[in-house]
Amino acid sequence: MAPMGGRAGVKHSTIIGIPLAIANRKLIPVTLFPYGKEIVDSRTIAVAQRPLDSL
């Protein structure tokens, strides 16, 4: 298996953490390259479309 850095490497050191580390490694492309999403300036979004915690 390829060497892992960061938290995935720490989780990989336990029996319980092995599947979690593998899942974390598989989610990296999803978080780095969110296909199908458009990045917009938050100042251009209408108030009705903003999350409640940003009001």
Angstrom distance (rounded) from CA 25 to CA 15: 16
Whole-prediction pTM = 0.39
Helix (H, G, I), strand (E, B) or coil at 51: coil
Angstrom distance (rounded) from CA 31 to CA 19: 19
Read off the pLDDT of each residue in 33-55 and give the average, rounded to a whole number: 73
| Residue bearing the bigger pLDDT, 18 or 5 | 18
pLDDT tens column, 44-54: 777 777 677 66
pLDDT tens column, 7-29: 665 655 778 878 888 888 888 88
| Residue bearing the bigger pLDDT, 48 or 55 | 48
Angstrom distance (rounded) from CA 44 to CA 35: 21
- Residue 21: CB atoms within 10 A of its CB come to 20
- Residue 6: CB atoms within 10 A of its CB come to 9
